[in-house]
Amino acid sequence: MPQVVRPRIAVLHGTHPASPLPQRFRSLADREAVEVLHRAARVLVASLPVLTDRLVEALYEQEPGYRAAIESDRAEIWQEVHHSLRHNVGSLIQPREFREAAHRTSRRIGEIRAEQGVPLDAVLHAFRMGGAMVWQDLVDETARRDPDDVRLLVHVAADVWNFVDEHCGIVGDAYRQAERRLSWRRENQQRLMIAALLDGTARIADLCEAAAMLGLPEQGRYAVLAVASAPRGPQRPGPARPPLNLPAALPVAAPPYGQSGPDLPDVRPDAPALSGAAPYGQSGPDGLPHARPDTAPLPTAFPGTAPLWHTGPDAEFAILRLTGDPGGPGDPGELHAIAAALDAPAGTRAGIGSAVEGLAALGDARRLAETALRACPASGGTVLLDEHLPDALVVTSPALGSALADRVLGPLDRLDPSDRDVILETLTAWLDADGSAQRAGARLYCHRNTVLNRLRRFEQLTGRCLTRPRDAVEVSLALAARRLLAP
């Protein structure tokens, strides 16, 4: 505080303010009160080790948030408390000399406690306990020396407690700034770890740390979801994370390390930014960069963490933790349920790779998801790799796929485009109907004989026989290549 006693007019909190004392009497009382305060504070300075012992013991007994820190390093806590008391009690005697040192000490304590994970309420409670203990000792020392002087301390009581509140504010600000720095650093570490896992560059020795950091089991079963939005013109290049509603069947992972319980800040991708936080890549009012809030809303069935997202150059990737129930992830039933439950905007392309075992295989899972995404139609939709393996074969070797399409379907390119498209549409419908001309005709709103006539014309133009298994496979792959690899 800039000065121990400030000129003030006492005003009662009532309907009528009390008449102030004449200036002569008020100044005299304040001067005597300061002398009494200084005299008692000097005695406290001389007995600081004893006061420090009492405060540390009181913190251990009355404040559970400090108990673990005291048990782990009691000497360090003792030195910290002693340092703080020395500067704060010294500020009562010589405010100008001790003010900045006392502020630095309080800020440092706030930063250290944030790094140790001691709750902010516990830190503020500790400071108020120290303030109460110092005040009581000031009163007791004054009463021991001259009981009549105790009444004079009333004149400085508000200043002492304003001093305590001031330092509580300093500690709180320092704690919150350190907490934001730690959160930003932790989120960056998580992003780097997720990127390494999906790239397949994470070291085996780091997998245990990655599991603890991300709140995921090292040997769990996982799949990767790849998502790409529809092109939005030259003004919005690059991938953008579309809003997705994921199925609630996915299990909830443990909270990331350093966090626990429902009272923590929300770490879900739909969590709002910190109050007053600046956009990702910019600085907030405290000069600290803030992590980007993800924008994919998730179902309310996720009370804790959600699938972990990573931004790639051409798509967004999400790590999906599977339940591991017998018959679930092994048989693609669980992945099929996820694919069926995905609810993405029109034009969004999504690909889900096959299930893999363990965090070490997430690099393979990402590549499988990218393959599924490439097998997704340009118009949008969701592709589950396990159900589109022939298409995956085509997109993994586009040069061979294009060569096969040209060889099998090339003769149709000599036809009129509308005639060619009718034959290709009929051929696709017939294959989708498992070779049933009746069902294909129903899909195309034409007679089954019309379907058969178009199929015979295709055989005549290409020299293929649709009843020959080899030719049927080549035709199916050629149609997939034409659909997926078209420029």
At 173, the pLDDT band (50, 70, 90 cuts) reads very high
Judge if pTM exceeds 0.85.
no
- Residue 387 predicted with pLDDT over 80: yes
Rg (C-alpha) for the chain, rounded Å, is 36
Tens of pLDDT, residues 48-62: 899 999 999 999 999
The predicted pLDDT at position 151 comes to: 86
Measured distance CA(13)–CA(386) in Å, rounded:
75
**What letter does residue 345 receive in the DSSP assignment?**
-
**Nearest C-alpha neighbor of 142 from the set 7, 27, 44:** 44
Dump the DSSP string for 222-233.
Answer: EEEEEEEPPP--
Task: Give the Å distances, CA to CA, from 264 to 68, 141, 363.
Answer: 20, 44, 31
Tens of pLDDT, residues 433-455: 988 999 999 999 999 999 999 99
At 200, the pLDDT band (50, 70, 90 cuts) reads confident
Residues 6+ positions from 245 with CB-CB distance below 8 Å = 297, 298, 299, 341, 342, 343
The predicted pLDDT at position 153 comes to: 85
The predicted pLDDT at position 299 comes to: 34
Measured distance CA(386)–CA(405) in Å, rounded:
23
| Share above pLDDT 70 across residues of the chain, in percent, rounded to a whole number | 76
CB 267 within 8 A of CB 256: yes
- Residue 264 predicted with pLDDT over 80: no
- Residue 15 predicted with pLDDT over 80: no
- Residue 29 predicted with pLDDT over 70: no
The predicted pLDDT at position 251 comes to: 45
The predicted pLDDT at position 267 comes to: 34
Task: Give the Å distances, CA to CA, from 288 to 78, 148, 178.
Answer: 31, 53, 10
- Determine the straight-line distance between the first and last CA of the chain, rounded to whole angstroms: 73
Measured distance CA(44)–CA(136) in Å, rounded:
11
**Nearest C-alpha neighbor of 268 from the set 240, 295, 241:** 295
The predicted pLDDT at position 452 comes to: 92
